[in-house]
Amino acid sequence: MILMGFRRPFVPLEESLIAQGERLIPWIPGTKLPEEARRADAAVLDFTEAARHLVSVFRLTRQLHQRGKPVATLNRDAPWNKGVRARRIWALRQLRIADIHLTHALQGQTVAPRTHYFPNAADLARYHLHGASLDQLRDPDRYRYAVSFIGNIDDARYPEHRPRMALLRPLQSRLASLGIALELFHSEGMSLPQQVEVIQRSRINLNLGAACDHGGERSWGLPERCYGVPACGGFLLSDARHHATEDFTPDEEWIDFTTLDSCVSRIQALLGDFPRTRRIAEAAHRRVLADHTYACRARTLRALLQPTERRNPKGIALGSHQGPMAPGPHPV
């Protein structure tokens, strides 16, 4: 049994864990622990919620560590960390709450003895071809939009998205002056079928900005959009992300840009080479299905949650077996 400590359930990962035979115990950090927590074999805690609720999380981890059971924190919001103050992250580390820290971006503080790159992924239960075929998506006549962006574009209500809109608005104007329309869709009011329809009717789907970016510091990690668009068969053009080369082959499965000027140049070139965009989109689609689904992430997580040596509050070693490491070059 794995205790999942999240305020909002991590639905695609939890569904994949259940499909692989795991029994999950839901818990919201800061609330009373369920009775089943005493029998949990491991815990996976939302990193930011763990930092906000140190007392209840410490009580939980003390119980698990006394029985030699591992605790992992999972961060999908580095480096912003949902605004959690640095002193709370420092306290999380000092209390030795986590044995393993899983993060979509290997930047920032180390809070556990083992840190692993744990990227986002495609939620295939929701983002997939939806009845279309890759062959059908090779037809240039089916496309309605030259360039589109689906995401949170309400920067008045969500200030964290102001940097994104500060780039999207001038980009839209620049492209309009060249006769290229950039369509902006606010995802909050769209159904899933509507989102997939836009992805599959757009020659270029943009990824620009993420809520986890922190001021001028861009997250190294890739938003879910970077996996979901290819899963639906769409072509993605993204702002540059440090970890992109860990997940995709540049120029074959991944195309990015670094500045507004380079974005405009990329768009012009890509709109003039439709066959290339489809080759890249299909290669990215295959890569996502092979390596970047939440079923893949669930298998990695289950491998990492194997017993590993730790010490209880009295300094006595508990457990003696080093669990298998996640594939890839990033355990630190």
pLDDT of 113 above 60: yes
Using an 8 Å Cβ cutoff, are 69 and 205 in contact?
Answer: no
The proportion of the chain whose per-residue pLDDT surpasses 90, expressed as a percent, equals 80
pLDDT of residue 323: 31
* Least reliable range by pLDDT among 44-58, 144-158, 215-229, 309-323: 309-323
283: DSSP letter: H
Residue 4's SS3 state is strand
pLDDT classification of 314: cutoffs 50, 70, 90: very low
pLDDT classification of 215: cutoffs 50, 70, 90: low
* Domains, the chain: 2-120+294-318 (3.40.50), 136-291 (3.40.50.2000)
pLDDT tens column, 169-187: 999 999 999 999 999 999 8
Using an 8 Å Cβ cutoff, are 100 and 75 in contact?
Answer: no
Cα–Cα dist 192/152, whole Å: 15
Using an 8 Å Cβ cutoff, are 106 and 117 in contact?
Answer: yes
pLDDT of residue 82: 85
Q: Which of 256, 150, 165, 160 is nearest to 212 (CA)?
A: 160
- The reply to whether omega before 79 is within 30° of 0 (cis) is yes
The mean per-residue pLDDT over the stretch 123-132 comes to: 97
The Cα-based distances of 242 to 35, 78, 179 in angstroms read 42, 13, 32
- Over the chain, what is the mean pLDDT? 90
pLDDT of 325 above 60: no
pLDDT of residue 4: 98
pLDDT of residue 332: 28
pLDDT of 80 above 90: no
The mean per-residue pLDDT over the stretch 64-84 comes to: 93
pLDDT of 316 above 80: no
pLDDT tens column, 260-293: 999 999 999 999 999 999 999 999 999 999 999 9
**pTM of this prediction?**
0.89
pLDDT tens column, 132-155: 999 999 999 999 999 999 998 888
Count the Cβ atoms, other than its own, within 10 Å of residue 15: 18
pLDDT tens column, 14-24: 999 999 999 99
* Least reliable range by pLDDT among 47-56, 102-111, 129-138: 102-111
pLDDT classification of 312: cutoffs 50, 70, 90: very low
Q: How many residues does the chain have?
A: 332
